Structure 1
């Protein structure tokens, strides 16, 4: 009767690299998806702020600021609103852009719906007819 030598099997390293790869690979994929999601958030912030600034410029001359915001934020789901006010500089307009951040479907987390706001304020331009 042969005796089973367990020490020989415990010191065997065959297959350990495969097990380590299988254990680490999902974490690498998760990290890549997380980095991609953060890039989408940064992109949305930059585009939303630019769209708000463009919309405020157009609204300051009483133009169609919503069309300008939609063109500036092409590819994003945005909503624009505006308000008038006054400051030490005179009359001004503020345009607020609310953008839905595109999301990546991350396993075990799913899609997370969130939005962010960006606003810009510009002084109102005086009409040439008002100057006469």
Structure 2
């Protein structure tokens, strides 16, 4: 009769357990899933940044057009900026008139709050984006 050694059976059982790959796909998925979510949130945040920049530049351009015709003190400038930047929080609208080699120019800057994604454990991110535009001042003397 052959004698069984307890060590041989235990080693065989251990090797069988180590080579067993059941559940490995689930573990890999659980390890990679947060990275996929983070990448998606990063891409979404970059889209929000791009949207904010484009809208701020457009609002500044619309404000500069109105200011070039009506003057920088006209309340229609602020109205044009707010209407153009619909959906964004307009923080400030600094305006000025400068002289250049082409004559007087009207500059309008639009400061807007950047929309951000609320990421747990990171909190609110407060950034502002500035859009600016300059147009030639159309004085009434030119008519």
TM-score, normalised via structure 2 length: 0.85
Aligned positions of 1:22-61 closer than 5 A = 22-61=30-69
Q: Which residue of the other structure, out of 18, 21, 24, is the alignment partner of 1:10?
A: 18
Shift of 1:19: 0.3
Match of 2:81 in 1: 69
CA distance in 2, matches of 1:9, 1:131: 90
Asked whether the 8 Å contact 1:30–1:106 carries over to 2, the reply is: no
Shift of 1:109: 2.4
TM-score, normalised via structure 1 length: 0.92
Shift of 1:34: 0.6
Deviating more after overlay: 59-68 vs 24-33: 59-68
Shift of 1:116: 1.3
Q: Structure 2: 5+ residue runs without aligned partners?
A: none
Q: Helix, strand or coil for the counterpart of 1:93?
A: strand
The structure carrying a bigger helix percent of its residues is: 2
1:84-112, Cα deviation, whole Å (9 max, x unpaired)? 11101111110000011100012332321
CA RMSD of aligned residues (A): 1.6
Q: Considering only CA atoms, is the larger Rg found in Structure 1 or Structure 2?
A: 2
Q: Helix, strand or coil for the counterpart of 1:121?
A: strand
CA distance in 2, matches of 1:108, 1:114: 18
Alignment length (residue pairs):
130
Match of 2:134 in 1: 121
Asked whether the 8 Å contact 1:94–1:119 carries over to 2, the reply is: yes
